[in-house]
A and B are shown apart, each in its own frame.
Chain A
Amino acid sequence: MSGYSRSEPLARTAPMEANVRKGVTPASQSHRLPGDGIIDRRLPLQFSFDGKTMTGFAGDTLASALVANGVKLVGRSFKYHRPRGIVTAGSEEPSALVEMRTGARREPNTRATTQELYDGLIANSQNRWPSLRRDFMSINQLFAPIFVAGFYYKTFMWPAKFWESIYEPMIRRAAGLGKSAELPDPDHYDKAWAHCDVLVVGAGPAGLSAALAAGRAGSRVILVEEDTLIGGRLLSDGGEIDGLDAREWLRGAARELVSLPNVRIMTRTALFGVYDGGTYAALERVSDNVAMPDRHQVRQRIWRIVAKRSVVTAGAIERPIVFPGNDRPGVMMASAVRTYVNRFAALPGKRVALFTNNDDGWRTVETIERAGAHIVAVIDPRHEVPAQYQRLVDTYDLRVLAGVVSEVKGGVDGVRSIVVANDKNGLTQRIDTDCLAVSGGWNPNVGLSCFHRGKPTWREDIAAFVPGSAPKGMATAGAANGELSLSACLREGHGAGARAAAECGAAGKPGEASKADDEVYAIAPLWHVKGKGKAFVDFQHDVTASDVTLAQREGFESVEHLKRYTTLGMATDQGKTSNINGLAIMAEATGRTIPETGTTIYRPPYAPVAIGAFAGHHRDENFHATRLTPSHHWAAKQGAVFVDTGLWKRAQWYPRAGEKDWLETVTREVLAVRNGVGFCDVSTLGKVDVRGADAGVFLDRVYINSFSNLAVGKARYGLMLREDGIVYDDGTTSRLAEDHYFLTTTTAKAGPVMQHLEFCRQVLFPELDVQLTSATDQWAQFSIAGPNTRNLLRALADPSEDLTNEGFPFMGAREVKLRGGVTARLFRISFSGEMAFEISVPARYGAAMAENLMIAGKPYGVTPYGTEALGVMRIEKGHVAGPELNGTTTADDLGLGKMMSKKKDFIGRVMAGREALTAPNRQVVVGIKPIDKARRLRSGAHVIPKGAIPGPQTDQGYVTSVCFSPMLDQWIGLGLVERGRERTGEIIRIHDPLRNEDYEAEICSPVFYDPEGVRQRG
């Protein structure tokens, strides 16, 4: 893929030289093994956990480094504050959750098992007070009954006020996991797109085989892997492939993949969502492996991957067995024990007991013995040593016990001994151990295949759910598909990759699948060992087996109810290690089978994703794109205060030194216009070039009034309705040529109106010859208003231009030449009620225009004004705007009913005639003046008749727009009032319970100023 850089799949994090603390000896790593491991012993890294400094190596996770340092206790549990340790070595970790980093970068609930170690890493345990070893809240264990299933529902129902004052603060103190930073996140995040033919999810043996097959065939392949390295279980369990040691084979596979230019490998990238049409979402942890992202680098990045086909080779998760004390630090998944030993050269225990109900767990024996530690006992409830492992019994003189683990004894530092019960004869025996490796079997990762409401199906032979169906374009292979042996993973992965490539049209040859010896995998399901003491199902939410059976006794038998009642599987790990055990216990309690009991619905995200990553670049000033007017930088230089108007930044007012508040500024601006001349950038109005032979007919159909009869060189105010008869938008449209109109919209509706016009053109009236182009950004448009407007324009325009009332009458529109050689469009329209023009020049001249208006208007005291003054003047003139065009008003409500043509069909015509929209008691636009001239009128206040008691029955409307009118020297407003036009002069009551105001006002004409319109025509 030319242009893309590929991550190096086998490269390890190399911390910057300067960061490596010199002189640190690895002596503290009491549980570090000699021998291989995929860690770099040349790069020691110093880190701190709960303030204690330790060392690890490059290639370690925080969890493996803690294991290497002999740390077992890493946190306290959610409800009972029980000591907890590391359970897994992967992203499914429910227990070893820590607070990473400090200050603004502090992040709770980070899985120690996926956190790469870096030099200077600071982590702290969570949910303990005052310290991890002495946790006062562990007293919660004594109050355990209040924390049973449904405790929120049961305990806090009554009395209500106790909730706020006692229960909630107590629970917030006691429960919860970690604290998030209280400062804004200083890091950046972004989002990016990637495209491919075949997306392979997971780079274990199946995924590598799929990527190799599809890549060789010539498909564009993306291989995503959440781990820092490719290889999956091969990194931990090894084996032999094509006659090679697994790691050797892995190096070869990596070399081949990297050599294929059509294959892109993305490590540290976890797929978390599957969406419609072959879109997938993945989270790349770009800089989580360093203390602070490089300059210009993001912390994390969300990838939206578009793939024609996907092959999910996401593997399987080993599941715990639920037995009393199974949450004691030192009780660890057997596969995790092997990972820590083989991959990280870190020894979780020196005297390891193994509790397994399946053949795979037995692999642990060799790992431990070869590491120089001892297997003190293998506990297998099957009462029979698997044939393939019989040799281990002899080689290592193994003590094999038929039965189950029924009790775990130990302290905060972990397991010291276990009690094994023979389920046949009931005899028990105690075994001393410092680590209990557990394997309850393997659950294929069916989540991704079930995101489109797919239901997994139950496979009895492996006692696990496998994908039942998959979203369109997705195939599953290998362990994710329930094929747990290495040979099957290689074969299935290759087949799925080759098929996906062929379906994408790849013509090349996929090559041969790699081969490994077939292994036997046998299992006898064991879900729950009953006994004294808490047996945990969900480690993260502290849900026990007895919570599940309690839920059943109380009638919450459906898995969805079980989940919500007990909160099983609702923590950040989403029940990856607990859901199946929970429903198996429920099945047992209800006497149903596991498939009958069923699973809860799978939904993205598969793994936790920070909100910051979802926001990406879009925060703070980049929250959304902004639009600047052509005179923006000029206005900024004049000290303008800007206001967000949709996406636009508009000058709101231009304060001057000595002005005490915005009102003084705005009043000055209004008076300057009304007494002299001012200008305002109105480029934000939507502008549309409407051209074509049928442009006039087209406008007749979208406006309530006629435009086909508008003379060239003239402008007209137009009003659009929605098809349901409600007013949609308004604006002035000019006819610049026989087949060319220039239509304007309000600032807010520019986009929607364009879309609406295109709908009318393409869908409703396709027979018309009309073409539409947005010209909003092409023109810098200024409103120039005030009695001296013409004088200003005379100074600016070429002397040949006739700007007299006769030469350029009210509502005229044409091109004029300006001094200095620029041609402008001039429209004689007025929003302020003053003698006014709007002038347009190409946007590149916007700043120059503002400067030239200042020069030309200097003798007349020209004043730039902002949107606030614009608003004041439109209210004084009774012009409606956004607050009146509010999606409920008709043309007649706005006093514009007479504009509706009776001679033509237009959008909204028929529905506007409906009874309710023409009822005489509708709320219509009126003017409102408080009787007390010192009163400040506020928008939103209710209008009720004088003497009436405020209430829904007496409510007759409300105040929509208000301003302080410099011309009337009092606050005035527009309102929508029932039968308002018949009530001019009536004294009404303004009732404003929100601001606790109540006063009288008079209904008046909405045109407060120059009602005859003499000034604008002058």
Chain B
Amino acid sequence: MRIACPFCGERENGEFTYLGDASPKRPNFAVDGGESPERVEDAFYDYVYLRDNVAGVMREYWYHGGGCRSWLVAERNTVTHEFISVTAAPGAGAASAVRAGE
């Protein structure tokens, strides 16, 4: 398998580490912001545990740890192993970025 790091170019998959589904977003909440603890806990439960078992194109986190140390978001077909796109995480590099959902 070869993964095209947007910074480094195409590399063999041994340089990368797989994390999993890139769709769940870590819930944002303000401590003592008045949100019900149950709702916050439910949101985190979804974020931590609930995953779709996709047969087809899926967005995934990959880490180029054996390279530029960038976190990447890849669209990959889990059936054919074909990568459709690979983009950098919002905070890779030093460009100004905002937290997801803000």
Q: From A723, A903, A913, give the contact of B31 (CB < 8 A).
A: A903
Q: Is A934 an interface position by the 8 A CB rule? A: no
A765 vs B89: C-alpha distance in the bound complex, in angstroms? 11
**B35-78 CB contacts (< 8 Å) to partner A:** 37, 40-41, 44-45, 47-49, 61, 63, 65, 69-71
* Inter-chain contacts of A278 with B (CB < 8 A): 2
**Cβ B44 vs Cβ A904 within 8 A:** no
Q: Is A251 an interface position by the 8 A CB rule? A: no
**Cβ A762 vs Cβ B92 within 8 A:** yes
Q: Is A761 an interface position by the 8 A CB rule? A: yes
**Cβ A766 vs Cβ B63 within 8 A:** no
**Cβ A759 vs Cβ B99 within 8 A:** no
Interface string of A886-928 (1 = CB under 8 A from B): 0000000000000000111100001101100000000000000
* Inter-chain contacts of B30 with A (CB < 8 A): 905
A674 vs B27: C-alpha distance in the bound complex, in angstroms? 49
**Cβ B29 vs Cβ A762 within 8 A:** no
A515 vs B96: C-alpha distance in the bound complex, in angstroms? 63
Q: From A472, A765, A903, give the contact of B82 (CB < 8 A).
A: A472
| Min C-beta distance of B68 to chain A, whole Å | 11
Beyond A755-B65, A905-B31, A914-B41, whether A766 also contacts B90 by CB under 8 A is yes
**Cβ B91 vs Cβ A765 within 8 A:** yes
A276 vs B10: C-alpha distance in the bound complex, in angstroms? 13
**Cβ A762 vs Cβ B91 within 8 A:** yes
**Cβ A275 vs Cβ B71 within 8 A:** no
The winner among A275, A306, A763, A910 for most chain B CB atoms within 10 A is A763
| Min C-beta distance of B85 to chain A, whole Å | 14
* Inter-chain contacts of A457 with B (CB < 8 A): none
**Cβ B102 vs Cβ A767 within 8 A:** yes
**3 interchain residue pairs of minimum CB distance:** A766-B91, A277-B2, A766-B97
A471 vs B65: C-alpha distance in the bound complex, in angstroms? 29
Interface size bracket, B side = 35 or more
> Which A residue's beta carbon lies closest to that of B79?
A453
Q: Is A724 an interface position by the 8 A CB rule? A: yes
Q: Is B23 an interface position by the 8 A CB rule? A: no
**Cβ A762 vs Cβ B1 within 8 A:** no
Listed by A's residue number, 6 A-B pairs whose Cβ atoms lie within 8 Å are A277-B81, A762-B91, A764-B26, A766-B91, A911-B48, A914-B41
Q: From B17, B29, B48, B70, give the contact of A905 (CB < 8 A).
A: B29
A279 vs B17: C-alpha distance in the bound complex, in angstroms? 18
Beyond A767-B97, A767-B99, A904-B31, whether A276 also contacts B44 by CB under 8 A is no
| Min C-beta distance of B99 to chain A, whole Å | 5
Q: Is A758 an interface position by the 8 A CB rule? A: yes
A279 vs B92: C-alpha distance in the bound complex, in angstroms? 28
Q: From A452, A766, A911, give the contact of B89 (CB < 8 A).
A: A766
A759 vs B94: C-alpha distance in the bound complex, in angstroms? 14
Q: From B2, B40, B81, B94, give the contact of A306 (CB < 8 A).
A: B2
**Cβ A723 vs Cβ B12 within 8 A:** no
Q: From B71, B80, B97, give the contact of A759 (CB < 8 A).
A: B71
> Which B residue's beta carbon lies closest to that of A764?
B26
**Cβ A762 vs Cβ B90 within 8 A:** yes
**Cβ B61 vs Cβ A910 within 8 A:** no
Beyond A276-B1, A767-B99, whether A759 also contacts B19 by CB under 8 A is yes
A371 vs B91: C-alpha distance in the bound complex, in angstroms? 75
> Which B residue's beta carbon lies closest to that of A751?
B65
> Which A residue's beta carbon lies closest to that of B40?
A910
> Which B residue's beta carbon lies closest to that of A722?
B48
Beyond A277-B1, A766-B97, whether A724 also contacts B48 by CB under 8 A is yes
* 14 further contact pairs, Cβ within 8 A, besides A277-B3, A766-B89: A276-B2, A278-B2, A306-B2, A755-B63, A759-B63, A762-B71, A762-B91, A762-B92, A766-B90, A766-B99, A771-B94, A910-B29, A911-B44, A913-B37
> Which A residue's beta carbon lies closest to that of B94?
A771
- Give the A interface residue count (CB, 8 A): 32
| Min C-beta distance of A181 to chain B, whole Å | 31
**Cβ A763 vs Cβ B71 within 8 A:** yes
A556 vs B2: C-alpha distance in the bound complex, in angstroms? 40
* Inter-chain contacts of A905 with B (CB < 8 A): 29-31
> Which B residue's beta carbon lies closest to that of A759?
B71
> Which B residue's beta carbon lies closest to that of A767?
B99
A403 vs B89: C-alpha distance in the bound complex, in angstroms? 72
> Which B residue's beta carbon lies closest to that of A724?
B48
* Inter-chain contacts of B92 with A (CB < 8 A): 762
**Cβ B44 vs Cβ A910 within 8 A:** yes
> Which B residue's beta carbon lies closest to that of A692?
B94
| Min C-beta distance of A759 to chain B, whole Å | 6
A751 vs B63: C-alpha distance in the bound complex, in angstroms? 12
**Cβ B48 vs Cβ A723 within 8 A:** yes
**Cβ A762 vs Cβ B65 within 8 A:** no
| Min C-beta distance of A694 to chain B, whole Å | 11
**Cβ A276 vs Cβ B65 within 8 A:** no
**A284-339 CB contacts (< 8 Å) to partner B:** 304, 306
* Inter-chain contacts of B82 with A (CB < 8 A): 276, 472
| Min C-beta distance of B97 to chain A, whole Å | 4
Q: From B45, B69, B83, give the contact of A758 (CB < 8 A).
A: B69
The winner among A751, A758, A759, A766 for most chain B CB atoms within 10 A is A766
| Min C-beta distance of A377 to chain B, whole Å | 53
| Min C-beta distance of B72 to chain A, whole Å | 9
A452 vs B82: C-alpha distance in the bound complex, in angstroms? 12
> Which B residue's beta carbon lies closest to that of A774?
B69
A905 vs B27: C-alpha distance in the bound complex, in angstroms? 11
* Inter-chain contacts of B47 with A (CB < 8 A): 723
A766 vs B71: C-alpha distance in the bound complex, in angstroms? 11
| Min C-beta distance of B61 to chain A, whole Å | 7
A547 vs B22: C-alpha distance in the bound complex, in angstroms? 52
**Cβ A763 vs Cβ B44 within 8 A:** no
A904 vs B32: C-alpha distance in the bound complex, in angstroms? 9
| Min C-beta distance of A573 to chain B, whole Å | 29
A276 vs B16: C-alpha distance in the bound complex, in angstroms? 15
> Which A residue's beta carbon lies closest to that of B73?
A763
**Cβ B91 vs Cβ A761 within 8 A:** yes
A882 vs B3: C-alpha distance in the bound complex, in angstroms? 34
| Min C-beta distance of B88 to chain A, whole Å | 8
> Which B residue's beta carbon lies closest to that of A905?
B31
* Inter-chain contacts of A913 with B (CB < 8 A): 37, 41
**Cβ A763 vs Cβ B48 within 8 A:** no
**A765-824 CB contacts (< 8 Å) to partner B:** 765-768, 771
* Inter-chain contacts of A767 with B (CB < 8 A): 91, 96-99, 102
* Inter-chain contacts of B1 with A (CB < 8 A): 275-277, 279
**Cβ A763 vs Cβ B2 within 8 A:** no
A914 vs B44: C-alpha distance in the bound complex, in angstroms? 11
Interface string of A726-767 (1 = CB under 8 A from B): 000000000000000000000000010001001101111111
Q: From A279, A472, A759, A910, give the contact of B41 (CB < 8 A).
A: A910
Beyond A276-B2, A762-B92, A767-B97, whether A755 also contacts B61 by CB under 8 A is no
**A544-585 CB contacts (< 8 Å) to partner B:** none
* Inter-chain contacts of B102 with A (CB < 8 A): 767
> Which B residue's beta carbon lies closest to that of A278?
B2
> Which B residue's beta carbon lies closest to that of A277?
B2
A760 vs B94: C-alpha distance in the bound complex, in angstroms? 14
| Min C-beta distance of B25 to chain A, whole Å | 9
* Inter-chain contacts of A761 with B (CB < 8 A): 91
* Inter-chain contacts of B2 with A (CB < 8 A): 276-279, 306
A231 vs B2: C-alpha distance in the bound complex, in angstroms? 33
A911 vs B40: C-alpha distance in the bound complex, in angstroms? 10
| Min C-beta distance of B101 to chain A, whole Å | 11
Beyond A766-B99, A767-B98, whether A758 also contacts B71 by CB under 8 A is yes
* Inter-chain contacts of A910 with B (CB < 8 A): 27, 29, 40-41, 44
**Cβ B40 vs Cβ A279 within 8 A:** no
A902 vs B32: C-alpha distance in the bound complex, in angstroms? 9
> Which B residue's beta carbon lies closest to that of A772?
B69
A904 vs B31: C-alpha distance in the bound complex, in angstroms? 6
A768 vs B49: C-alpha distance in the bound complex, in angstroms? 26
A306 vs B49: C-alpha distance in the bound complex, in angstroms? 37
A277 vs B91: C-alpha distance in the bound complex, in angstroms? 28
| Min C-beta distance of A895 to chain B, whole Å | 24
